[in-house]
Structure 1
Amino acid sequence: MMMRFEGQTALVTGASSGMGQATAQMLANQGARVFTAQRGEAAHEVILADFADPATPEKVIAHIAQAAGRLDILINNAGVMREGTVDEGSEDDWHLQLQVNLTAPYLLIRHAMPLLKQGGGAIVNVGSIEGLGSNPRHPAYCASKAGLHGLTRAVAVDHGPDGVRCNAVAPGWIDTPLNVDFINSMGDPDQFRKEIGHIHPIRRTGAPEEVARLICWLASDDASFVTGQIYTIDGGRTAQLSLP
């Protein structure tokens, strides 16, 4: 296997399952020393972290600085979603989603920047197609992901001269444990999966490993001239117009 991250240190947030777990494992398989930060247990070098607490990002980066003395790759994957229209949801739900999905990545980038500058690091933020459009009853989630896309471009512009690249991925429907559980809760899961597949030109939903491959490419030297970009990975869902 190609060891394109040999000698590098990476942080992946929200790596207990799904895209974060797949990304952390892929980075490790390709030679990186991987730290994971989330509320629950995960693989690799685990930092227990609750990103709803504004003090957490600084503590996480300080832990890595002390343990490894370097950080080459930052993957901001941790996220939360609460449903409810603007008149249904609470302000607490709004602030939680903005904190975890947008402010925590901003603070992680801020505190990690001195380390990332040392070796010309790479940041990959996990946004969403909901930063480009919206599913029903997701105002705070959409706002946070659109903000994360904007933050991605701003960091790329400001810190390109420092040798730091910053990109984002915008996944569509991915078979994370949360989404799989949702499908299985339907009255006819097989029929629902068939229906959800038909909103994708390739007629299926995505796998966490497919997103992880894109994330790892963006974090690698193979993407050395790529920065400030938002890569949609959705099986063509947002390219397909709905029928009347």
Structure 2
Amino acid sequence: MKLKGKTAIVTGVGAGIGESTARLFAKEGADVIGNDILEEAESVINAIRSDGGSAAFVIGDVSDIEAARKIIETAVDTFGRLDILVNNAGIVLPGRVDNTSHEDWDRTIAVNVRGPYLLSKFAYPYLKENKGTIIHVASVAALTGLCNRAVYTASKGALTSLTRAMAMDYKDDGIRVNCICPGTTDTPSLADRLSQLPNPEAARKEFIARQPMGRLGAPYEIAEGILYLALAEFCTGTILSVDGGMSL
């Protein structure tokens, strides 16, 4: 087991990439703290426990100061240490700059950027103690322009820049900071967004068509990339694309 004796936090654990990452980390022996804003996401943690894994759940909005602090404190209080922080929680809202509402802009930046900032800030002393690692989950949108995704692209671009800054800031503390940029991934979140379009099947085909490999990614494939970054001791400041060639 590659993560035996390690404690990992995974935010946005209720489905998709977060769920796959939590399950994979638990399978590799980690004690997992799963966070989500939705109470029903605890079912993922319960399933991990049923499979013999070690896990606990913390509900909360990552953009809220006290909620973010509680996530970190729960990990340390429950398992005695913190080694890995996966900032996966995020939202996707459509729009160009001219038609994105102030509320949508602020909410996206709050969840996608403020959340990772807060969690990283509160995790810092514990990660320093254990020479731990942070993995931000950004998006291929940070690397290539996408139509109708202005604030989402801006927020994920901020994460890639933050990754580089933090990698430089914390290299002497032994904390590695990396970032993964998934391509379009076949998650419940994607299915929900497609269902709101006039022709979901046609839209799905368009998403597939823009992937050079001719298919959508699977959540477990992104989780495997996150596991790699958690283990790769000579990687910091790395922006890892797992995108089916979309950023070519």
Question: Normalising by the residue count of structure 2, what TM-score does the alignment of the two structures yield?
Answer: 0.89
Distance 1:152 1:92, change over 3 A: same
Describe the SS at the equivalent of 1:237: coil
Distance 1:87 1:196, change over 3 A: closer
Q: Any conservation in 1 of the 2:112–2:155 contact (CA below 8 Å)?
A: yes
Distance 1:186 1:84, change over 3 A: closer
Which among 174, 184, 187 is matched to residue 173 of structure 1?
Answer: 184
Supply the AA of the counterpart residue of 1:21.
E
**Aligned residue for 1:237?**
246
- Counterparts of 1:113-128 in structure 2, within 5 Å, are 113-128=124-139
Residue 62 of structure 1 deviates from its aligned partner by 1.8
Q: Any conservation in 1 of the 2:183–2:246 contact (CA below 8 Å)?
A: yes
Distance 1:188 1:117, change over 3 A: closer
Hey, what's the Cα distance between the residues in 2 that align with 1:79 and 1:150? 17
Deviation per CA, 1:191-231: give whole Å up to 9, x if none.
654443332222111000000001001101xx110110111
Which among 2, 24, 36 is matched to residue 38 of structure 1?
Answer: 36
Which among 10, 13, 19 is matched to residue 15 of structure 1?
Answer: 13
Distance 1:80 1:195, change over 3 A: closer
- Counterparts of 1:153-232 in structure 2, within 5 Å, are 153-183=164-194, 187=199, 189=201, 192-220=203-231, 223-232=232-241
Q: Any conservation in 1 of the 2:8–2:31 contact (CA below 8 Å)?
A: yes
**Aligned residue for 1:25?**
23
The percent of aligned pairs where both chains have the same amino acid is: 39
Hey, what's the Cα distance between the residues in 1 that align with 2:151 and 2:121? 23
Describe the SS at the equivalent of 2:65: coil
CA RMSD of aligned residues (A): 1.7
User: Where does the alignment leave 5 or more consecutive residues of structure 2 unmatched?
Assistant: 46-54
Question: Normalising by the residue count of structure 1, what TM-score does the alignment of the two structures yield?
Answer: 0.90
Greater CA drift, 95-104 or 172-181 = 172-181
Hey, what's the Cα distance between the residues in 2 that align with 1:136 and 1:229? 26
Describe the SS at the equivalent of 2:247: helix
Residue 175 of structure 1 deviates from its aligned partner by 0.3
**Aligned residue for 1:242?**
none
Hey, what's the Cα distance between the residues in 1 that align with 2:156 and 2:218? 20
Q: Any conservation in 2 of the 1:15–1:24 contact (CA below 8 Å)?
A: yes
Aligned length: 234
**Aligned residue for 1:60?**
71
Hey, what's the Cα distance between the residues in 1 that align with 2:122 and 2:150? 28
Describe the SS at the equivalent of 1:168: strand
Supply the AA of the counterpart residue of 2:182.
P
- Counterparts of 1:77-156 in structure 2, within 5 Å, are 77-156=88-167
User: Where does the alignment leave 5 or more consecutive residues of structure 1 unmatched?
Assistant: 240-244
Hey, what's the Cα distance between the residues in 2 that align with 1:86 and 1:181? 23
Q: Any conservation in 2 of the 1:54–1:99 contact (CA below 8 Å)?
A: no
Q: Any conservation in 2 of the 1:102–1:148 contact (CA below 8 Å)?
A: yes
Residue 85 of structure 1 deviates from its aligned partner by 2.0
Deviation per CA, 1:110-152: give whole Å up to 9, x if none.
1101100111101110001111223222221111111111111
Residue 69 of structure 1 deviates from its aligned partner by 2.2
Q: Any conservation in 2 of the 1:37–1:47 contact (CA below 8 Å)?
A: yes
Hey, what's the Cα distance between the residues in 2 that align with 1:110 and 1:192? 39
Describe the SS at the equivalent of 1:227: coil
